[in-house]
Structure 1
């Protein structure tokens, strides 16, 4: 039933419309509401990326109908389809949980002592909120696993031992599992919240942040060093799909680090601004993972063969440059040859004093070269 219309003469003084609460409480309530809105917007991006990835991965399966028992490519596609499906379900459950909590706090229980912000802070343990909390931790672990997988792929062809490279990240990932379970146990108690268990929240957040930063730095450094090698060998135009700035940021899930740092800093100083990244972090994790998988599905992500293929490409281009530099001519004549292929410069060099072809053909080639 719709509410009855109110006459503008009955509205009273506009100054009385504002609730009689401190400005700090109003600001905190704004951050919760803004975080919920941003989370819904980010979920729209998640939905778009989910269907893009799903269609691309299914298309890859159709093009490669090999049995999953014998084809590693097919197994990878199936695993990625399962991953995006699970992440999408968890993301949907989380945004539904947040929407219901927002309605409960701002509409149903609007007279809760301390206002909607207090309801959001205290009622972390009710079942609808618990669903979102569990999904949050699960998606955090899954997102870290994808980032670790990309790190392994990128370092697989490195001269460094892959076991030594991933030893610290693996240990930190296990620590993230343990602290995440403790965190969920703590905030699931009646009346508890991340602010009531500040120590465990910070420990869990710092471990996850440290793991993300370590993996991000490892991936970016590896791609940057490879970029320098490619540029030095065959020019800046080659290899940009793997080593461009945007490519490196996507591969390393840099956006996730930014949001986690925002939350940790704001939470540590007790600022209500921590509510915004806390509400959006789940969707940001999903977006970061889906963008990586999108690059894998489109064939633009770094693969284990990228270094080998690039090295072969470098040798092939170098050989072509050397071959194109050969000019046939009469002994002692001057010809223009392209020596420096990486910079496109030219230099003059004496032709080799060996008769490779009959004089008549040699003279013809020399004349043709002089016209060029």
Structure 2
């Protein structure tokens, strides 16, 4: 077995192991978020239903992706390891197998849903300013188109995600979705950083931590996911064996990222449409009022400016 082939299999094993661990974390987060949404006193029932269904669909797609990867590896390393050419030959000959295409489709659909949620959150955090999201929306449409083309091409016999036209579509898809994430993350991050500075003197420590703290900024802006996406793109373009592991882990974070946002929504600490105006009003009047579309209204005392 060539060293490159061995490195690719090792990367696949590492990626699947990390992805399985992330799956367990995502399962817990979804269960906990659903519990919070079901037991909360939310007046807007449609919001509860939306986030429960959204998280459930993501978890289902994640399950499909995990199952397809495990099935492929089980056949390659155990059931058919003695086929002519061994695991490397099986990998090359079965990349277009139906379960692989099914898993790839699940990852692409998950990515579309996640990017759609991030675009919506960016729209909300920027106080529903439509011009802000025009460019990201165009990139989002391009990314979705490339993802669909990649799935269609990957279903062709004897194709490989890492070679030929499939790889070109794949690189275009990853490049566009990473570009989208960079732009949206920058928009959200800069907006939250602006309000962090504005809120320093008018909110108490607990409120600053909840709405403009480091964890709030990291989760709302999806900064870790964007950084991992950049690493995925770089390794994918270079075609190095470790790209397999990075891609599998990135696909896992495609699901984990929105689930963390849903948890903030379910906990009543996510940014809502009126959050920015509330912080601005607090700077003038000294009373912070959080009226999230996904939580019941609550009044919180704050420091006077």
Computed over aligned residues only, the root mean square deviation of the Cα atoms, in angstroms, reads 2.0
Alignment partner of 1:163 out of 130, 138, 147: 130
In structure 1, the residue corresponding to 2:38 is in which secondary structure? helix
| 2:192 is the counterpart of 1:212 | no
Larger Rg: 1
Contact 1:98 1:129 in 2 (8 A): yes
Query: Match for 2:12 among 20, 32, 35?
Result: 32
Residues 127 and 274 of structure 2 are in contact (CA less than 8 Å); yes or no, is this contact kept in structure 1?
no
Q: Equivalent residue for 1:177?
A: 144
Q: In terms of mean alpha carbon deviation, does 206-215 or 120-129 score higher?
A: 120-129
SS of equivalent residue, structure 2 residue 136: helix
TM-score in terms of structure 1 length: 0.73
Which structure has more relative contact order (CA 8 Å, sep 6+)? It is: 2
Map of 2:211 onto structure 1: 242
CA contact (8 A) 1:121 1:195 kept: no
Q: Which residue of the partner structure matches residue 188 of structure 1?
A: 155
Report how far residue 117 of structure 1 moved.
Answer: 4.4
- The structure 1 residue matched to 2:79, chosen from 108, 115, 119, is 108
Matched, 1:98 2:95: no
Question: Is 1:253 matched up with 2:222?
Answer: yes
Please give the secondary structure, in 1, of the residue aligned with 2:121. Answer: helix
3-state secondary structure, aligned to 1:205: helix
Distance 1:36 1:341, change over 3 A: closer
CA 1:185–1:56 in 2, change beyond 3 Å: closer, same or farther?
same
Shift of 1:315: 2.9
Which structure shows the higher helix fraction? Answer: 2
Conserved? CA contact 1:32–1:117, under 8 Å: no
Of 31, 56, 61, which residue of structure 2 is paired with 1:85?
56
Distance in 2 of aligned mates of 1:207 and 1:264: 10
Structure 2 unaligned spans of 5+? 288-302
Match of 1:307 in 2: 276
Query: Once the 2 structures are TM-superposed, how far is the Cα of residue 30 of structure 1 from its aligned partner?
Result: 0.7
Q: Deviations over 1:276-310 (max 9, x none)?
A: 02222222111101000100110111111212322
Of 46, 57, 70, which aligns to 2:37?
57
| 1:130 has 2:101 as partner | yes
Measure how far apart 1:316 and its partner are. Answer: 3.4
- Equivalent residue of 2:94, what SS? helix
Q: By how many angstroms is 1:245 displaced?
A: 1.6
Q: In structure 1, what is the Cα distance between the partners aligned to 2:113 and 2:154?
A: 21
State the distance in 1 between where 2:83 and 2:269 align. 51
